[in-house]
């Protein structure tokens, strides 16, 4: 089993990893990930570092040129979800 850690340091199960990968792909493909990242004031370089990826890869994900995959995609999903919560909290 792959032992991916979320930002809260909890190990994910195989099913949770697949769910996160699916979410990452949806967030990237429909533009939500980019919108949330920008609304939170997070740069491509910052989110790339947080996900263990590169600025270019995250940019390609968010432009639909590359499908998110692997541990960085799982982390991208978690980070975007966390940022979305922060952005919503600030709007209230």
pLDDT of 18 higher than 80: yes
Q: What CATH number has the domain bearing residue 51?
A: 1.10.260.40
pLDDT in tens, 41-92: 999 999 999 999 999 999 999 999 999 999 999 999 999 999 999 887 665 5
How many domains does the chain divide into? 1
What pLDDT does residue 5 have?
47
What pLDDT does residue 71 have?
93
User: First and final CA of the chain: distance in angstroms?
Assistant: 40
**Closest Cα partner for 72 from 3, 4, 2?**
4
DSSP category for residue 33: H
19 within domain boundaries: no
Which domain does 39 fall in, by range? 25-91
32 within domain boundaries: yes
65 within domain boundaries: yes
Give the Cα separation of 23 and 1 in Å (integer): 20
What pLDDT does residue 19 have?
92
């Amino acid at each position: 089993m792959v032992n991916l850690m979320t930002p809260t340091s909890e190990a994910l199960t195989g099913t949770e990893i697949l769910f996160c990968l699916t979410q990452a792909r949806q967030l990237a493909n429909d533009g939500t990930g980019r919108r949330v990242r920008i609304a939170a004031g997070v740069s491509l370089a910052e989110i790339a570092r947080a996900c263990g990826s590169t600025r270019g890869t995250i940019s390609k994900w968010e432009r639909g040129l590359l499908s998110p995959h692997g541990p960085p995609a799982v982390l991208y999903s978690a980070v975007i979800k966390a940022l979305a919560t922060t952005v919503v909290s600030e709007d209230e």
